Structures are given as C-alpha cells and as structure tokens.
C-alpha cells in the first residue's frame, strides 16, 4: 500500500487550497477540499498560530490521515497571555502574568516534545520559556517560580493536572496583562524621551557615538535600533 506524506505549516483554522498546502496535495489525487475542512476543524482552537500539519495519503484509495502537531511553546504561552509578542527586553520588561494552571496547560499540550520526566519537570521547562519572552508566573519571575516549584508550592495543582481557569481567574489574568502593558508603554515612553535628548545633544556626531551613548544610558537595543539604526549611519557616512 503506497503512501505519500505532505508536511507543512498552516494558520490554525485557516488552511486553504492555496500554496503551500494545495499544490503539495495536488499530485496525490486526494480530495483537497475534504483535507482542508478536516485540518480547519482540528486546528480551530489554535487560531493565530502556525501549526505543523502532516497529511498521510494512501495513493491507491485516496484516503488520508491528518496528524496535527503543536505550535512552539512560546506561541502557546502568548496565546494564554493574550499578547501578540514577547518582551523586547525580557529581563527588564514583562508582558503578562500567568497562573500556574496555564503553565500546566501548555506543558501538557507540549508534553510529547518536552524532555522532562514527569509533568513537574515539563512544567519547569515551560517556565524557562516564560523567561525568554518576559512572562511572569503567579507574580514571580521565572527563576522565582522555578524555586517555588522545587519547594513544592504547586505540587498539588501539578499532581491534579488542573488547567482550566474560573471566570474570576481569567479576569484577574486579563487585568494583570493590561497593567503590565500600560507599565511597558510608560517605560518605553521614558526610554524614547531619554534617547531623543541624547540624539539632540549629539546632533551631527557619528551615529556610532550616539548609539554608544544610548546604550550607556540603559536604553534597550530595540529602541536604539529604531531611533538610530546602523543602516542610516552607514548611509550618512557615505554622503
């Protein structure tokens, strides 16, 4: 029984017969409309994320099997947090504060691809990802949360594998997200104001000196790159 496998990434709930999926399935002779419909049904809960999909087609009967992978842990965490992107400077900025139940949910979703033995170890792996994108856990930094997990603070919830939040808990997470977003916005405005003062004081100087002065003032690299990009420096030098 000959089989052909097509692997691709689709946006959750929004697969179409357009490239890359349609052209890849065409040579198999499978009913593309049915494939697309089934993929969308299976990925409806992953809207806004790129989802790995594998379509295994029996080239004789034209029957097919669809295997849905899971998005990266960072994407799942951002979905839980209700944010589109992580912090530009995760050590200094925080974009959201998740409950341990949400961390457990992501760990269980990704369990097949995580290295840890047991749910507790897998939860710790997800906490590590939180650190890289600027997400707090129960008001704690990733390092603090890891210590809390090691000390058994969340053992009961991890043992039960609780992942669902009450309406009150969801509201609390959303309120905290808004507070952190407002704080980040205010902090960014402070950095931009400071950067613009430096740019005015050093007007006419080499861009390299301006960038160095900004860095020494503690301005995050993403903001420096926006206001004094290296490309502009090179163009100015040529002129």
Domains of the chain: 3-68 (3.30.1550.10), 73-164 (1.10.10.250), 186-238 (no CATH)
- Residue 45, pLDDT above cutoff 80: no
- Residue 128, pLDDT above cutoff 90: yes
Specify the pLDDT at position 6.
92
Q: Which pair of tokens denotes residue 39?
A: 């993929």
Specify the pLDDT at position 12.
87
Instruction: Please write the tens of the pLDDT for every residue from 50-108.
Output: 889 999 999 889 999 999 888 889 999 998 888 888 887 787 788 899 999 999 999 99
- Residue 233, pLDDT above cutoff 50: no
Q: Which of 238, 235, 236, 210 is nearest to 224 (CA)?
A: 210
Specify the pLDDT at position 43.
87
Beta-carbon contacts of 115 under 8 Å, excluding residues fewer than 6 positions away, are: 121, 125
- Residue 189: cis peptide before it, omega within 30 degrees of 0: no
Q: Where are the beta strands (DSSP E) in 69-193?
A: 96-98, 135-137
Does the pTM surpass 0.75? The reply is: no
**Band of pLDDT at residue 1, cut at 50, 70 and 90:** low
- Tokens 């808004």 locate to 178
Q: Do residues 14 and 40 make contact, with C-beta atoms less than 8 angstroms apart?
A: yes
Q: Where are the beta strands (DSSP E) in the chain?
A: 3-11, 50-58, 64-68, 96-98, 135-137
Q: Determine what percent of the chain is predicted with pLDDT higher than 70.
A: 96
Specify the pLDDT at position 235.
47
Q: Do residues 181 and 98 make contact, with C-beta atoms less than 8 angstroms apart?
A: no
Q: How far apart are CA 16 and CA 35, in angstroms?
A: 9
Q: Which pair of tokens denotes residue 239?
A: 């002129």
- Residue 8, pLDDT above cutoff 50: yes
Q: Which of 114, 82, 111, 109 is nearest to 98 (CA)?
A: 82
Q: Which of 150, 146, 144, 142 is nearest to 91 (CA)?
A: 142
Specify the pLDDT at position 231.
64
Q: How far apart are CA 208 and CA 41, in angstroms?
A: 52
Q: Where are the beta strands (DSSP E) in 116-175?
A: 135-137
Specify the pLDDT at position 78.
92
Q: Do residues 26 and 5 make contact, with C-beta atoms less than 8 angstroms apart?
A: no
Specify the pLDDT at position 175.
86
Instruction: Please write the tens of the pLDDT for every residue from 152-171.
Output: 999 999 998 888 888 888 88
Instruction: Please write the tens of the pLDDT for every residue from 193-224.
Output: 999 999 989 988 889 899 999 999 988 887 88
Comparing 47 with 60, which gets the higher pLDDT?
Answer: 60
């Amino acid at each position: 029984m000959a089989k052909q496998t097509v692997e691709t990434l689709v946006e959750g709930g929004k697969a179409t017969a357009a490239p890359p999926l349609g052209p890849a399935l065409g040579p198999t002779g499978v009913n593309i409309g049915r494939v697309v419909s089934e993929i969308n049904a299976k990925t409806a809960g992953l809207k806004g994320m790129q989802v790995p999909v594998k379509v295994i087609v029996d080239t004789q009967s034209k029957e097919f099997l669809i295997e849905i992978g899971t998005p990266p842990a960072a994407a799942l965490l951002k979905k839980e947090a209700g944010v589109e992107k992580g912090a530009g400077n995760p050590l200094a900025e925080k974009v959201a504060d998740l409950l341990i139940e949400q961390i457990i949910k992501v760990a269980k979703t990704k369990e097949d691809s995580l290295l840890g033995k047991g749910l507790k170890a897998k939860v710790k792996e997800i906490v590590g990802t939180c650190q890289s994108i600027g997400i707090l856990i129960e008001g704690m930094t990733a390092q603090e949360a890891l210590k809390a997990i090691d000390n058994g603070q969340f053992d009961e919830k991890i043992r039960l594998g609780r992942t669902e939040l009450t309406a009150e808990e969801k509201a609390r997470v959303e309120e905290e997200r808004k507070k952190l977003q407002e704080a980040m916005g205010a902090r960014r405005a402070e950095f931009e104001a400071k950067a613009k003062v430096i740019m005015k004081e050093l007007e006419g100087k080499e861009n390299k000196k301006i960038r160095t002065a900004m860095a020494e003032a503690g301005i995050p690299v993403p903001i420096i790159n926006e206001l004094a990009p290296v490309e502009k420096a090179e163009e100015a030098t040529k002129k």
